Structure 1
């Protein structure tokens, strides 16, 4: 089963940056796309079919573990600015030039900070099920804060990342769960739930991402931004992006129905095609 996924064949590599070793994998060829992973995520948290589909759409994909997590060394933290620093320094050290910076959930917050702090490195921004900066019109659900602090079984996985009341979404959850169960010998170790829970807090916050400077960048940047979300995201409701849509001049919005906090897990191939269409559209507009 591993042979059909390029991401499963990609060798884990390490690069020494400022006294820490960042673990990363790069596969495919074409336009460089760097992905920042979710809360409690490692390189193993990306659905291999989604990664494969991105490669098929002409992207060179790089995934990595944040400092101190997974197979990376250094001080572990969930401070979004530190996660963005990891991404910026990795892009620079690997000499990737201008990249599409992508991020899922917490990684999407990091990606927005990368845009704000190092726009010279960014051609496009791809945000997956994340939150915008500033005050929210709709906060997340308390259920997430319960599940995020414990080991998760399939039912938790379905409630976190899919729409459990939808038969088709639940079927997609089963398929994604199986793909994510592929074991590789050099797999990144899981992020300890106890440590992650200590960083999270006990209830939804408003704002989740109190960064006025980043919001101002989103309001003025010429760089195209895509948010790919779902109609029932229990962590970061997509309504918060729609409430800002008339203020963010380069924002593209794609929302999947009957889906949850992992729209690219439920629709891996379609999500990759949407990302490719977004990049292609904004390139055409520049010509």
Structure 2
């Protein structure tokens, strides 16, 4: 029997609270499934196939579109708190009482809130290219990053600018990533809408309003946590990853060299190994 991969996993649907969630499941093994939460405007096919397949070699992996994003129906959330509750509803709809969660960028915001409001749901947490609520430098993105991130018709050049370090070596790894994530042709997810883009940016801005007291929320995360970041993230300052790792009681941090926001797409094999070891 041919193994199911990122390129061949069928898109499935589950309904809960008037939302039809689009998701994919692949892989087997592991103590609990690993739920992957996507970045700003990202959908099922914006994950790096090399990362997903490497993670799915040792455990079950679940990808999902947020409500109102790409193939999921419903209204896109305008706050991270609402997105977290939507993802909790999704886990209930699938009958999952315990999961590991990897949240990338905006997905990392959502994962933090899930860990705080449903501490018994999440066994282990991976926060990649993300930051805590209210931290310095989190209230929106600098102008050049915002321009590329909010492009009405995003291009590969936009992703390279946002996700990868502005060095020859990192950009070359970015080109390799673009080749991988464009390979799936059958049952490909539809692009996210401008409506969902604007709703998600509202959520990003609300999350980033400066609030020193909000940082204390991190001390309430009870599960073991791995923080992953590139050494020079242009979208979410790398320094706030160190802040998260210092405030979450049981956290460790791994910084990847010559990388920016999407270190997990630049080093998919290495990061899958590190994540698998942590989850194990």
TM-score, length-scaled by structure 1 = 0.87
- For the 8 Å contact 2:27–2:60, the answer to whether it is kept is yes
Q: Corresponding residue for 1:130?
A: 130
- For the 8 Å contact 2:135–2:211, the answer to whether it is kept is no
- For the 8 Å contact 1:148–1:193, the answer to whether it is kept is no
1:81 to 1:238, Cα distance in 2 relative to 1, 3 A = same
Q: Corresponding residue for 2:117?
A: 117
Matched, 1:27 2:39: no
Q: Single out whichever of 130-139 and 24-33 deviates more from structure 2.
A: 130-139
Mark the runs of 5 or more structure 2 residues left unpaired by the alignment. Answer: none
Q: Corresponding residue for 1:284?
A: none
Q: Corresponding residue for 1:10?
A: 9
1:273 to 1:136, Cα distance in 2 relative to 1, 3 A = same
Mark the runs of 5 or more structure 1 residues left unpaired by the alignment. Answer: 281-287
Per-residue deviation at 1:216?
A: 3.6
The CA distance in 2 between the partners of 1:253 and 1:66, in whole Å, is: 27
1:251 to 1:181, Cα distance in 2 relative to 1, 3 A = same
- For the 8 Å contact 1:40–1:196, the answer to whether it is kept is yes
1:123 to 1:198, Cα distance in 2 relative to 1, 3 A = closer
1:213 to 1:90, Cα distance in 2 relative to 1, 3 A = farther
Q: Corresponding residue for 2:154?
A: 152
The CA distance in 2 between the partners of 1:178 and 1:212, in whole Å, is: 41
Q: Single out whichever of 35-44 and 68-77 deviates more from structure 2.
A: 68-77
Matched, 1:88 2:65: no
The CA distance in 2 between the partners of 1:76 and 1:119, in whole Å, is: 24
1:29 to 1:210, Cα distance in 2 relative to 1, 3 A = farther
- For the 8 Å contact 2:24–2:64, the answer to whether it is kept is yes
Question: Alignment RMSD, CA only?
Answer: 2.5
The CA distance in 2 between the partners of 1:195 and 1:132, in whole Å, is: 22
1:277 to 1:146, Cα distance in 2 relative to 1, 3 A = same
Alignment of 1:66-85 (within 5 A): 66-85=66-85
- For the 8 Å contact 2:97–2:121, the answer to whether it is kept is yes
